[in-house]
Amino acid sequence: MSTVTDTIEVHVPVRTAYDQWTQFESFPQFMSGVESIRQLDDRRTHWVTKIAGVRREFDAEITEQRPDQRIAWRSTSGESKHAGVVSFQPLDEQNTRVTVELDWQPEGIVEKAGSAVGIDERQVKADTKRFKEFIEQRGGATGEWRSEVPGSSGTTRTPGATGTPGTPRPPGVPRRPDVGR
């Protein structure tokens, strides 16, 4: 298992940084190697990546989401085995510390060699720097999702604040804005 952590300070309020990170389908705009992400429902995403010539498709599940604090996920299908968390710490009203932590299992000789020489760390650092540039240039998020997904206790499905995906939502509870696009 390989672990990569990077922290960056962004000159936007914590809500702006967090809201942008909930817009998974925008990740290809600042993450190299991510070709596309499709939001399947409130908790599941489908990823297509191409890193060092290796193309992968996998699904991931949001395992915890607390507005303005953290988003955690883990892969649930495909060859790519990984998990991660992004945490958000307000430094003041206009600045936020964003910390990205990834655990992943390199597959094959290319990925194992790349991990051994720190290519994965350099890529995460470059991606967090591009996130900083992206959100600071925009000055605002491309969308938001403010519902909470409580942390799970080892189960594969923990109902979120909006109910189980696919069931009717209570009146006034919004649908995740990037679902179904």
Q: Output the pLDDT for position 152.
A: 55
pLDDT tens sequence across 123-155: 899 999 999 999 999 999 999 888 898 875 433
Record the tokens describing residue 44, joined without a space. Answer: 């599941």
| 3-class DSSP string for the chain | CEEEEEEEEECCCHHHHHHHHCCHHHHHHCCCCEEEEEECCCCEEEEEEEECCEEEEEEEEEEEEECCCEEEEEECCCCCCEEEEEEEEEEECCEEEEEEEEEECCCHHHHHHHHHCCHHHHHHHHHHHHHHHHHHHHCCCCCCCCCCECCCCCCCCCCECCECCCCCCCCCCCCCCCECC
pLDDT tens sequence across 86-111: 999 999 999 999 999 998 777 777 77
Of all residues in the chain, the percent with pLDDT exceeding 70 is 81
Go through the domains of the chain in sequence order and give each one's CATH number.
2-23+60-138 (3.30.530.20)
